[in-house]
Structure 1
Amino acid sequence: VACGWHGGDPHVMRQTVARAKALGVAVGAHPSYPDLLGFGRRPMQITRQEARDYMLYQIGALRAFVVAAGLTLQHVKPHGAIYNVAAKDRELSLGIAEAVKEAGGDLILMGLPDSEMLKAGQEVGVRVAREAFGDRAYNEDGSLVSRKIAGSLITDPDEVAERVIGLAQGRVVAVTGKEIRFQADTICLHGDTPGAATIARRVRERLEKEGAQVRPLDAFLGRGI
């Protein structure tokens, strides 16, 4: 759930948490750079301490609504540019991971497999989840193709479903045509992708058809120490 700095506001946060509760869906924080105008998709130069404070502030804001609804915050997934920059920036990643640790509650930090962000999370002692993207194109190094490049976003439900099956098996074809391999714990489908609801239904249908079990992330990873 966006925490107000790239999208959303207190009213939307409350409404979204209430909707998640009604549907039995776990809630996670989606903090970003302070960039409403650019929807959090413009890189910024910030320090490790600034990253820590920005993340902690946003996590706390959403958690207030989560607690008010009688729920528990499950995970933190940085949004947009800060997610992509942190994947290769150790100092930025440490600031993010420290905020997640400081926030408490055994939160799960999401990031790209083998990214600096997940390494930082493991270093500071938080649970981490390797994330794959069903509706985004990949570079050969496992990073996401920039949204500025044509073909970076995949919107055909059948194509996304096929990619998710591959990702669940640890493989995906990069934009170059080369197959790359990595393990993932969770798969992202963007809510602002055209036809997102149809895509999600198709993905669920394919996963069930292939005999895959869709499980809550917290149960899948197990509790931390």
Structure 2
Amino acid sequence: MRIDFNCDLGEGCGDDAAIIPLVTSASIACGAHAGDEATMRTTLRLCREHGVAAGAHPGYPDRATFGRVDMPLPVAEIERLVAAQLTLLADIAASEGVRLAHVKPHGALYNRAARDRSVADAIAGAVFRIDPQLILVGLSGSQLTAAGEAAGLRIAHEVFAERRYEADGTLTPRSHPDAVIHDLDAAIAQVRGFVRDGGVIARTGEPIALRADTLCLHGDRADAAPFARAIREALQADGVRIAAVGAPA
């Protein structure tokens, strides 16, 4: 059993220094929904120090809502903004001696790409044009992972430690009161379901089969560091190898 353990970081609202030693991949905000050059450099240096795979976390240019409200941007504009954010982080990473490993869209853009193939194709196209060696991370079984495969990219199907799922395999919208799992034991049980059983129980009780290449924990939650430590320890206790997606088998 093997899984990547990733966290969304560089957003200026979490304890990145405490979280990064506990994960194997970090998706770094690229200055749109959050972050700036200073936070990008700091996060990249932490990744380099701890041997953590660094990736880009492009989102809508909407700091007021942290990129979590959909913006009706045309597909061409989405491709442009993803390419611009990826290029910015890649250039900073190169100056820090770090090569980016993956790209994972953020928030509302991620959710839109999961269901809208035209948006997914635009994102995959931008990633392939900038660096075809990058891994595209998307919601497990979604339009984004399908678009990445079609574009010739390596992909990683992502599952979430502390988000509820709907019966169709999508994430429960954050507007729902039960969208986020706050209880650590419940989150660990969900993680074990992904690794042991290949799926999750939906919010409404249905079992869902999901491929789990990489497991996400949100870094903006106040208890992200202790959550990350407990999840890592639970996986290790179960004999699960925790390693970045692109790492040797």
Q: TM-score range by the shorter chain?
A: over 0.9
* Residue identity matched to 2:246: D
Aligned pair 1:176/2:204, yes or no?
yes
CA distance in 1, matches of 2:161, 2:90: 27
What percentage of aligned pairs have identical amino acids? 42
Q: Which residue of 1 aligns with 2:227?
A: 199
Query: 1:24: Cα distance to partner?
Result: 1.4
- What 5-or-longer segments of structure 1 have no aligned partner? none
Query: What TM-score do you get using the length of structure 2 for normalisation?
Result: 0.86
Contact 1:113 1:184 in 2 (8 A): yes
RMSD over equivalenced CA pairs, Å: 1.2
Contact 1:161 1:199 in 2 (8 A): no
Deviations 1:90-137 (A, max 9, x none): 111111000110111500001112211111111111111000001100
Alignment of 1:44-123 (within 5 A): 44-123=71-150
Deviations 1:169-225 (A, max 9, x none): 3111111012111111000000012311111111111111111111121126x8xxx
Instruction: Specify which of 156, 159, 171 is matched with residue 132 of structure 1.
Output: 159
Query: 1:155: Cα distance to partner?
Result: 2.2
In terms of fraction of residues, the more strand-rich structure is 2
Q: Which residue of 2 aligns with 1:209?
A: 237
Deviations 1:37-96 (A, max 9, x none): 111111011222111111010001111121111111000000000100111101111110
Following TM superposition, where does structure 1 have runs of at least 4 consecutive aligned residues deviating by more than 6 angstroms?
A: none
CA distance in 2, matches of 1:86, 1:183: 18
CA distance in 2, matches of 1:113, 1:166: 14
Q: SS at the partner of 2:124?
A: helix
- What 5-or-longer segments of structure 2 have no aligned partner? 1-27
> How many residues get paired?
221
Contact 2:132 2:153 in 1 (8 A): no
CA distance in 1, matches of 2:39, 2:199: 36
Query: What TM-score do you get using the length of structure 1 for normalisation?
Result: 0.95
